[in-house]
Amino acid sequence: MDAAYAIIALDNDSAVRAPANEYITIIRHGKSQLARWQAFADGYQGYVPIGAKYMGDGQVRYGGSPSLHKRFPGDTDLALLNGADGDAELGPSMSFGLQQGRPTPKAPKGTVWVTLVSEPEGERIRPTEDQCAGLRKLLERESKYGSVQAAEMSSVTFGSSPLKELDNRRHDDGRNGNLFVKGQETDIDWWMDIRGGMYKYLQMDEIDQAAIPIQPLFYRAAKKYWVWIQNSIGAKMTYPGPYQDPGETEAVRLSMAGAKFADVFTERWMKANCPPKSSGKK
């Protein structure tokens, strides 16, 4: 981004101060979970756990059950992390334009200036049109049915309405069909299998999967079964062992973090990497 543009944006209160890391790992209910830094128009900003919903006035909601709001010993103190006060878990924005008259706190050590209107980030290796079509369907289903139901429905392995566009074997391009998100290989095929498989075969919904983190065990068992199937039919395998494929490793990590598909394949990411086709009409 052009430096002069950034200065103009700051002077016009179109920017906020953000940490260098958009995502961090926090501890919640005794287990690791991703949190993403976000800024909101009501003047609050900070790290919000993946899966939580911002309610306004610095408040974060984790679900309907009161037990979900309890902080266990050793859990990350979000209020302290985000510089919040009172009952809030997010702190006031660093920008006068967003904080609505609140005094500007000192910037945390290691922060950098960024704008919320910077150019979309395109991947060096972008998804195919086929994969983009599959992602759009997956995100639509997630919005309608929720993450685990969408994964169970869309799984190429056992889904009731599988998204063949996201089948890794259809994309023999030297990267094993993996998608790239900020340069990180991500196996969407396995991510759907883990999230959807735990729902289909173990009857574990999103809350259960967050409370009982057995995703690595499920992945190893599923991988062993998958290898047995491939051997029985004489199929070629690029990565026969667990965690050999970096995309599968990322799929397990995202599943354990309870990340939604829309948390990774954001509107901004989709716009940059899967732009809608032009109709050709004027």
Task: List, for residues 52-70, the tens digit of each pLDDT value.
Answer: 888 888 888 876 554 455 6
Sign of CA dihedral 80, 82, 83, 86: negative
Torsion of CA 37, 272, 263, 198, to 10 degrees: -150
Residue 184 and residue 101 share a domain? no
Same domain, 160 and 212: yes
100-120: average pLDDT: 39
In a domain, 280, yes or no: no
Q: How confident is the model at residue 41 (pLDDT cuts 50, 70, 90)?
A: confident
In a domain, 107, yes or no: yes
Instruction: Judge whether 281 lies within some domain.
Output: no
Q: Which residue has the higher pLDDT, 44 or 223?
A: 223
Which two three-digit tokens encode residue 264? 């990774």
The β-bridge partners of 49 are: 35
In this structure, the answer to whether residues 31 and 109 fall within a common structural domain is yes
How far from 176 is each of 34, 73, 194, 265, CA to CA, in Å?
A: 26, 41, 18, 19
Domain that holds residue 190: 129-273
* 100 shares its domain with 221: no
Tell whether 170 and 229 lie within a shared domain: yes
Core vs surface per residue 247-262: b (16+ CB within 10 A) or e: bbbbbbbbbbbbbbbb
Pair (150, 267) in one structural domain? yes
Question: Which residue bears the tokens 């992602």?
Answer: 135
Does any domain span residue 123? no
CA–CA dist 212, 210 (Å, integer): 6
Q: Are residues 35 and 59 in the same domain?
A: yes
Task: Please tell me the total count of domains within the chain.
Answer: 2
Which of 67, 90, 115 is at the close of a domain? 115
Q: Which residue has the higher pLDDT, 103 or 251?
A: 251
pLDDT tens by residue, 185-224: 899 999 999 999 999 999 999 888 888 889 999 999 999 9
Instruction: Tell me: pLDDT of 89 over 90.
Output: no
Are 47 and 36 in contact by the 8 Å Cβ rule? The answer is yes
Q: Which of 84, 115, 146 is the last residue of a domain?
A: 115
> Band of the pLDDT at 1, cuts 50, 70, 90?
very low
Q: Do 160 and 253 lie in a common domain? A: yes
Number of Cβ atoms within 10 Å of the Cβ of 272: 15
Type of residue at 63: G
Average pLDDT, the chain: 78
The residue among 68, 186, 208, 209 whose CA lies nearest residue 138 is 186
Per-residue pLDDT at 223? 94
Average pLDDT over residues 236-241: 87
Domain boundary among the residues 115, 138, 156 is at 115
Residue 85 lies in a domain: yes
Task: Tell me the pLDDT tens digit for each residue of 126-140.
Answer: 899 999 999 999 999
- Residues 79, 187 within the same domain: no
- What is the mean predicted confidence (pLDDT) over 218-232? 94
Same domain, residue pair 106 and 165: no
Q: Which residue has the tokens 């026969």?
A: 240
Structure tokens at 233: 């039919």
- Is 148 in the same domain as 109? no
Q: Is residue 92 part of a domain?
A: yes
The answer on 219 and 256 residing in a single domain is yes
Residue 247 counted as domain residue: yes
